[in-house]
Amino acid sequence: MAFSKDMARLAKANSFFRKEVYLDKNIQIVLMSLKPGDDIGEETHRADQTTYFVEGTGSAVIDGRSNKVAADHMIVIPQGAKHNIINKGTTPLELFSVYAPPTENPGVKHKTKADAEAEAEAEAAEEGVVTKIVKVAKEKLTRAASAKPKHEPAAKRS
């Protein structure tokens, strides 16, 4: 499906910390609005991320190197690079990111950074529970396999 939008207008009108505006199997486009002094939090992705800044001023820290950003500035964050985007200005930092392939949860929409952090914590806790369940199941299967009596071949009938 084709996507054609005035991204600058959408970004300026956005008040959500994070809000998906497009998703298909190959690409995802997400709006972000960072309040003065706020940041996205250090993260990495399994996809390349291209970010375009529409309004405000800030810095993008990519693998420990800080880059100044402002309106009409674009950065490309390679897959796996540790990064953070920080609003250093006195007005909201309005931006949008393009992820290829998609990396955020489908339909992602967080009004605030606290909402995003709460969802991330819940996902991490759920992941931890699943990991523990898998570990216990593997241990039980291993014990069951080692406790099984070895079957002797049936005696031949004469």
| Residue 56 CB neighbours (<10 A) | 21
Spell out the CATH class of 7-111: mainly beta
- Distance of CA 137 to CAs 121, 131, 132, 140, Å? 24, 10, 9, 5
Write down the pLDDT at residue 126.
Answer: 66
Write down the domain spans for the chain.
7-111, 113-146
**One pLDDT digit (tens) per residue for the chain, 158 residues:** 689 999 999 999 999 999 999 999 999 999 999 999 999 999 999 999 999 999 999 999 999 999 999 999 999 999 999 999 999 999 999 999 999 988 766 677 778 778 777 877 777 776 665 566 666 666 666 666 666 555 555 655 55
Write down the pLDDT at residue 28.
Answer: 93
Residue spans of beta strands (DSSP E) within the chain: 18-23, 28-34, 48-55, 57-62, 65-70, 73-77, 83-87, 93-100, 109-110
Write down the pLDDT at residue 118.
Answer: 81
* The one-letter amino acid at 59: S
Cα–Cα nearest to 105, from 8, 38, 50, 23: 23
CB within 8 Å of 58: residues ≥ 6 apart: 34, 68, 69, 70, 85, 86, 87, 88, 89, 93
Cα–Cα nearest to 31, from 93, 73, 84: 93
What are the tokens at 22? 């497009």
What are the tokens at 49? 């991320």
Write down the pLDDT at residue 109.
Answer: 78
What are the tokens at 88? 């250093």
Write down the pLDDT at residue 156.
Answer: 59
Write down the pLDDT at residue 114.
Answer: 80
What are the tokens at 68? 């100044």
